[in-house]
Structure 1
Amino acid sequence: MSPSFTPETVHRRRWAVLAVLMLSLLIVVLDNSILNVAMKTVAQPAPVGLGATQSELEWAVNSYTLVFAGLLFTAGLLGDRWGRRRVLLFGLVVFGLGSVCAALSDSPGQLVAFRALMGFGGAFVMPSTLAILMNVFERDEQPKAIGIWAGGVGLAIAIGPITGGLLLEHFWWGSVFLVNVPIVVVALAAMVLLVPDSRDPAPGRTDPFGVLLSIAGLVLLVYGIIKGGQLADFTDAEVLLTMGGAVAVLTGFVLHERRSAHPALDVGYFRNPSFSAAVAAIALVFFALMGVTFFAVFYMQSVRGFSALEAGLLMLPLALAQLVFAPRARLVVERFGAKAVCTSGMLLVAAGMAAFLFFGRTTPVWALEVVFFVQGTAMAHIMPPATVSIMQSLPREKAGSGSAVNNTFRQVGGAMGVAVLGSVLSARYREGVEGELAALPLPEGVRHAAGESIEGTLALASRMGPAGRALVDPAKDAFVDAMHVAAAGSAAVALLGAVVVAVWLPGKPRAQGESSRPPQTEAANPPVGAGS
């Protein structure tokens, strides 16, 4: 399909195509939101779970995200070169196989490995959905379609925790991955029947060396952060060497991309303020939100005592707000401009994060629901306009690589949020409970494992019987204190995002404010990019 126009036969079924793309998007987002609810179960000893430690839980999230983000560049380029539908079908098949393997894991290490396989498949799904959307819809309808696409993320977030809770109440933990398989089958069939293929008529070559550099750099960086949290010491020699290596590799990646004739990431994109500021906004907001989502699950289940299903239902306002407001965000942007809308959204996210500073062990549930609704509303007014700014800054034939950049920074931001805030949470929690654990006659290895997370402490308390009851309240108090520190850091990151958007994201286009001017005046001062 030519990148310059949409054939009439495709145009007529464009909304059905969007529905199929959202179904493919659903499984990628659904799986992560389900895993968030299942983490407490996976942390429990066998046969209920896998006995995963705090760092293993973080790697179950980050192994997927790092492989996903590392391959998005290549996946986007391959979609532009070989056909986006073909690449999407491949990704769905791999994702389905990875889901089956993850469900049958019998150790945390296997779960981490198969989650990486799922990330490999997901890398070929996510950018293709947005690239196909950009080629099926004309420019004037793209903001509406992207709003619905972003609302689909909210739908998946809503369905995921509830579905995960229901599955965990009736089946073993692996069922949260097997649920992906029927969705994959339906999506594959619908994709073949309805979705047209599209590609770049003049594609460039892939950049495997650049991809390897990005993967190595990100793995080293996140590993160093997680290790620092485990040791509660970010000045440890191993942590510093790992982080230093990460900086060196990522610097090499940037230099390589600047010199390459066919880069995996065209750094020239970032000279456009609409593109670079929107990318930064998405990365920062997901850094803030993914880290908070990680600790909110443990707050609701381990501190407050809610079941997995109840925790999923409690997060419903976060998702429903996105589902309702994301498709309508374009109307607010048309009136106030993307800069004002995204800045306000980032400030709302920061306010939602700051609200966690006032949460304790007996905070009313309605207060938690209000905060989740505010966060979802904020996300709904950041994701669609930021995504539109990114995708409309590039030619349509480069939709695959543009989508890859969008999703890469979103995933990297989320991974860093989980790693950084998870490490801060772990380090602060260990400081809070080590005095209580030190008073008990425990082997050093047992004491260290129990102090790594609230789940480790509560598991030890359960094994000790009546003697362990004295650990429960201190553990919960220590977690709430650690949550406050992580929430403060998350709010600070969201505020940084608001500053970035307010300073660098272009304001409301002058052409909109000058629509009533005489035609000859507009002709004398054509808007930048007219006729492109």
Structure 2
Amino acid sequence: MTGISRTTGTDGHVELNPRRWWALGAMVASMLVLGFDMTILNVALPTMAEQLGASTGEQQWMADAYIVVFAALMLPAGLLGDRFGRRAMLITGLGIFLAGSVVGTLATDVGPVIGARAVMGIGAAFVMPLALAVLPSLFPEEERGKAVALVTAASALGMPLGPIIGGWLLDHFWWGSVFLINVPMVAIGVLACAFLLPETRDPSSPSVDAVSTVLTVAGLGALTYGIIEAPVRGWGDPLVVGGLVLSVLLLAGLVARERRAARPMLDLRLLAHRPFLLNTLVATLVMFVLSGLLFLLPPYLQAVLGHDAFGTGLRLLPLIGGLVVAAKASQPLVERFGARAVICAGLVVLAFAALLGTRTTADSGYGFTALWLTIAGAGFGFAMMPAMTAAIGALPRDRAGSGSGLLMTVRQVGGAIGIALLGSLLASVFADRLDTGRLPAELADRAGESVVAAKVIAQRLGDPALAASADAGYVHGMVVVLLVCAGAALVTAALAAWLLPRRAADAGVASPVVHA
């Protein structure tokens, strides 16, 4: 199909239309927003916890509402674009994201913020797959690689920019500015897509299964609810147990339904390819740990070490910097030693960094934290990128598209569970270690909700012992989380070394394809 990438002159000569680069610029801006919205809220959570009185569980919901909905709806949103028009659905997604950002800007309580993040997740689920899907109609084959690289680079660049932009905004404006910044950028994206993009469809794509979509959203939501609420209510609480049991039943129903479908929306049969399955699990584990760390580090840097929001964003750069550098350096190493060796080495480096991080104390200071964060970032990069490339390379070429969608979905689910599970573990350990024996029951409960709440109460009462107990309790919780991360990384490294083929060719599959 011919889009705006080519025009035909009166002499029959086909010329490229320069408007395609303006359209690409709009999509790059939109993907940049999606990228930094994955991390921009993390640095704002301590401020929002103080000003809105949000507990650790509510902070987890504010972070996870976006990711859970994003992960659950990414595949059905892409299929809706294929069938009903990619431009129309892309504009719809940007509009939904814009609406969620406006609600977040105006919110004055925790509930509306969580709702706004969920609405933004719906919009992001449309934008992410469709921004890539429209590129073939915009660019000829010789330019398509450059266009894909720019769009994917914008999404990747957003992650390290998020904490920095969020920190600067919080130091100069109110916390709602982390939502407001989305409004002009997304509005420009909507206008550019409306006027510059051609409409394309693929009527032969699988139809959207409404039942499977509901099972996915409800199952992930129930799982997240059970994990987040457990530290507050207790693991034996009927609501927690009911949420976890319901999630198992719903997700089992999803698996059974998708396995019976002639053209499944979520092709779980791809997991029968062992190299794909194992590499997907590696990428998911890395996302699990990375998302968990990005959730627990800002309160440590702000509430325990005393840095402001912008300083916190800057101090997260060693983690992201190590990840970016290692991701770029991984390909030559894969070509020389094979993906298995690089993935295993990355996981071992990650485990070492986590174990080094367990030596952190409330008096360690930032220098030691920067050291183990840099090493952890390198471990993330060396493990994640080869695993993602090897996962898609393990599939037949005619199933690379569906495999890519499944990989991205499962990876995002790993991120959501990382925030929920590691955040809940941290909250539970912190509440157990916090010394609130001298406080009235109401204040004791309030202080146990988060380190920010405990420090605010300690400052209000002039109680340095409570403040010291809060710092020590939070750091101890962080140490326990890092021990879990180290153990998970080592177990995954052992499984990868045992079960992954030494080279891609050993699996008897196609060589890796470029994956966004």
> TM-score normalised to the size of structure 1?
0.84
Indicate the residue corresponding to 2:224 in structure 1: 222
How far apart are the structure 1 equivalents of 2:103 and 2:400? 32
Indicate the residue corresponding to 1:168 in structure 2: 170
DSSP 3-state at the match of 2:427 = helix
Residues 14 and 137, structure 1, Cα contact 8 Å, conserved in 2: no
Matches within 5 A, 1:315-464: 315-392=316-393, 401-433=402-434, 436-440=435-439, 442=440, 444-464=441-461
Total equivalences in the alignment: 502
Indicate the residue corresponding to 1:519 in structure 2: none
1:78-108: CA deviations, max 9, x gaps? Answer: 2333444443332222112211111110110
1:422-461: CA deviations, max 9, x gaps? Answer: 111111111111xx31332x1x333222112111211222
Matches within 5 A, 1:25-44: 25-44=31-50
1:109-160: CA deviations, max 9, x gaps? Answer: 0111111100110111222345556997979997x98777665454212211
Indicate the residue corresponding to 1:239 in structure 2: 240
How far apart are the structure 2 equivalents of 1:496 and 1:343? 10
Indicate the residue corresponding to 2:10 in structure 1: none
Report how far residue 290 of structure 1 moved: 1.0
Report how far residue 393 of structure 1 moved: 5.3
How far apart are the structure 2 equivalents of 1:388 and 1:15? 28
Residues 163 and 316, structure 2, Cα contact 8 Å, conserved in 1: yes
1:197-229: CA deviations, max 9, x gaps? Answer: 665462111111011111111111111111111
Indicate the residue corresponding to 2:212 in structure 1: 210
How far apart are the structure 2 equivalents of 1:252 and 1:105? 36
Residues 148 and 327, structure 1, Cα contact 8 Å, conserved in 2: no
Alpha-carbon RMSD: 3.4
Pair 1:171–1:313, CA change in 2 (3 A):
same
How far apart are the structure 1 equivalents of 2:465 and 2:397? 62
Residues 155 and 320, structure 1, Cα contact 8 Å, conserved in 2: no
DSSP 3-state at the match of 1:257 = helix
Is 2:23 aligned against 1:23?
Answer: no
Letter in 2 for 1:426: A
| Identity level (%) | 37
DSSP 3-state at the match of 2:204 = coil
Letter in 1 for 2:75: F
DSSP 3-state at the match of 1:348 = helix
How far apart are the structure 2 equivalents of 1:179 and 1:190? 18
Which of the residues 170, 180, 183 maps onto 1:181?
183
Matches within 5 A, 1:504-523: 504-510=499-505
- Bigger shift: residues 65-74 or 415-424: 65-74
Which of the residues 481, 484, 489 maps onto 1:489?
484
Gaps of 5+ in 2: 8-13
Pair 1:217–1:509, CA change in 2 (3 A):
closer
Residues 447 and 453, structure 2, Cα contact 8 Å, conserved in 1: yes
DSSP 3-state at the match of 2:472 = helix
DSSP 3-state at the match of 2:174 = coil
How far apart are the structure 2 equivalents of 1:400 and 1:509? 19
How far apart are the structure 1 equivalents of 2:84 and 2:54? 40
Pair 1:335–1:185, CA change in 2 (3 A):
farther
- Bigger shift: residues 308-317 or 334-343: 334-343
Letter in 2 for 1:489: V
1:398-426: CA deviations, max 9, x gaps? Answer: 66644432222122111111111111111
Report how far residue 284 of structure 1 moved: 0.8
Letter in 2 for 1:227: E
How far apart are the structure 2 equivalents of 1:272 and 1:9? 44
Report how far residue 297 of structure 1 moved: 0.9
Report how far residue 352 of structure 1 moved: 2.2
Residues 67 and 121, structure 2, Cα contact 8 Å, conserved in 1: yes
DSSP 3-state at the match of 1:419 = helix
- Bigger shift: residues 398-407 or 245-254: 398-407
Indicate the residue corresponding to 1:291 in structure 2: 292
- Bigger shift: residues 210-219 or 19-28: 19-28
Indicate the residue corresponding to 1:516 in structure 2: none
1:452-492: CA deviations, max 9, x gaps? Answer: 2111211222232x2x3321111111111111111111222
Report how far residue 266 of structure 1 moved: 1.1
| Structure possessing the higher relative contact order (Cα contacts under 8 Å, 6 or more residues apart) | 1
How far apart are the structure 2 equivalents of 1:130 and 1:76? 10
Indicate the residue corresponding to 1:474 in structure 2: 469
Report how far residue 332 of structure 1 moved: 2.9
Residues 146 and 387, structure 1, Cα contact 8 Å, conserved in 2: no
How far apart are the structure 1 equivalents of 2:496 and 2:151? 22
Residues 42 and 51, structure 1, Cα contact 8 Å, conserved in 2: yes
Residues 97 and 121, structure 2, Cα contact 8 Å, conserved in 1: yes
Letter in 1 for 2:37: D
1:261-285: CA deviations, max 9, x gaps? Answer: 3422111111223432222122111
Residues 26 and 156, structure 1, Cα contact 8 Å, conserved in 2: yes
Report how far residue 14 of structure 1 moved: 9.7
Pair 1:205–1:9, CA change in 2 (3 A):
farther
